């Protein structure tokens, strides 16, 4: 993959960008529980609780995501990739910090009359530093996605992301590059409460895996100026999907 040495330095260099005027900083956390058999006869349970920082200004921004993961079961499962490796005879539990993810995004077109937006995002997940990230993996993941948004009648909005994730330097895992999509339909019930439905799809990430299809509702509430909480549940419909998942979010937005 000859383009990898070029795109990775460019992605990392994007994190030196700091908006000069009227920037906002968002600090958020999300605790998500998923459970599933992932094609086996035993169950794997994963708790993932990331801390995320986003610096954004007028449709452009950069982000840093640091996840804490607690996992138990007979098979290792990597969030966004699915099951990796074989099934162990004995159930095990492991925990710790996973791979840190860097992101940068931009909105390059907007129609103010219709509320339609088009943008792009790059997400780079470097290999873990084993002494600091025991739940991380030793290969790189790069995601490139196109982001679309549209305002619909009756205070509704549709947001979609379509992209491809590249797995670099992981020959022993049998993983593939794969396509993914996320479709979110939201509705503002009041000025503070929003509800919606999210559909996530992903082509198979390994030659022995299957596609992923997950769907579920969510709700968000602005509890105070700059503060937002949310909750969601979802169900998986394929072998490599989680059978069930649920989580909550908490975020605080600052003007700097």
Domain boundaries, the chain: 4-15+24-255
More confident residue, 22 or 173: 173
What CA–CA distances, in Å, run from 201 to 181, 194, 210, 227? 5, 23, 11, 30
pLDDT of residue 99: 95
Nearest alpha carbon to residue 216 among 201, 233, 230, 240: 233
pLDDT band at 22 (very low <50, low <70, confident <90, very high): low
Q: Does domain 4-15+24-255 have CATH number 2.40.128.130?
A: yes
Identify the pLDDT of residue 13: 52
Asked which of 6-10, 129-133, 168-172, 191-195 is least confident by mean pLDDT, the reply is 6-10
Give the whole-angstrom CA distance, residue 209 versus residue 68.
25
pTM strictly above 0.85:
yes
3-state class of 14 per DSSP? helix
Task: State yes or no: pLDDT of 225 exceeds 70.
Answer: yes
Q: What is the pLDDT of residue 256?
A: 77
pLDDT higher than threshold 60 for residue 16? no
Dist CA 7 CA 29 (whole Å): 28
Confidence band for 103, pLDDT divided at 50, 70 and 90: very high
Instruction: Go through 28-39 and write b for each residue having 16 or more CB atoms within 10 A of its CB, e for each that does not.
Output: bebebbbbbbbe
User: For tokens 């937002």, what's the residue?
Assistant: 228
Residue 2 has pLDDT above 70, yes or no: no
- Check residue 5 and give its pLDDT: 47
In the predicted structure, residue 131 carries a pLDDT above the cut 80: yes
What confidence category does residue 200 fall into, taking pLDDT thresholds of 50, 70 and 90? very high
Query: Which of these, 63, 147, 71, 150, lies nearest to 111 by C-alpha position?
Result: 150
- Ramachandran quadrant class, 179 (left: phi over 0; alpha: psi -120 to 50; beta: rest): beta
At 86 the pLDDT is 73
| pLDDT greater at residue 119 or residue 14 | 119
Q: What percent of the chain stands above pLDDT 90?
A: 67
Q: Which of these ranges, 84-93, 188-197, 243-252, has the smallest mean pLDDT? A: 84-93
Model confidence at 134, pLDDT cuts 50, 70, 90, reads very high
Q: What is the mean pLDDT of the chain?
A: 89
pLDDT at 10: 53
pLDDT at 3 > cutoff 80 = no
- CA neighbor of 83 nearest in space, from 98, 97, 73, 69: 73
Produce one character per residue of 101-117: b if its CB has 16 or more CB atoms within 10 Å, e if not. bbbbbebeeeeeeeeeb
């Amino acid at each position: 993959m000859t383009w990898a040495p070029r795109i990775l330095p460019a992605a990392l260099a994007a994190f030196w960008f700091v908006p000069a005027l009227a920037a906002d900083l968002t600090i958020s956390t999300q605790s998500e529980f998923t459970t599933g058999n992932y094609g086996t006869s035993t169950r794997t349970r994963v708790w993932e609780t990331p801390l995320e920082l986003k610096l954004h200004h007028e449709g452009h921004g950069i982000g840093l995501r640091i996840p804490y993961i607690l996992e138990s079961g007979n098979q290792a499962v990597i969030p966004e990739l699915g099951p990796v490796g074989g099934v162990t005879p004995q159930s095990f539990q492991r925990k710790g910090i996973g791979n840190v993810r860097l992101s940068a995004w931009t909105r390059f077109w907007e129609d103010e009359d219709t509320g339609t937006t088009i943008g792009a995002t790059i997400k780079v997940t470097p290999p873990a530093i084993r002494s600091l990230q025991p739940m991380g993996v030793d290969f790189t993941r790069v995601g490139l996605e196109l982001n679309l948004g549209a305002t619909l009648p009756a205070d509704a909005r549709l947001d979609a992301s379509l992209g491809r994730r590249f797995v670099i330097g992981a020959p022993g895992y049998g993983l593939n590059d794969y396509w993914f999509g996320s479709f979110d339909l939201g509705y503002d019930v009041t000025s503070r409460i929003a509800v919606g439905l999210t559909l996530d799809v992903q082509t198979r990430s390994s030659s022995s895996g299957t596609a992923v299809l997950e769907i579920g509702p969510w709700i968000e509430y602005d509890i105070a100026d700059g503060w937002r909480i949310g909750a969601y549940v979802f169900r998986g419909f394929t072998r490599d999907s989680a059978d069930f998942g649920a989580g909550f979010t908490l975020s605080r937005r600052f003007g700097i």
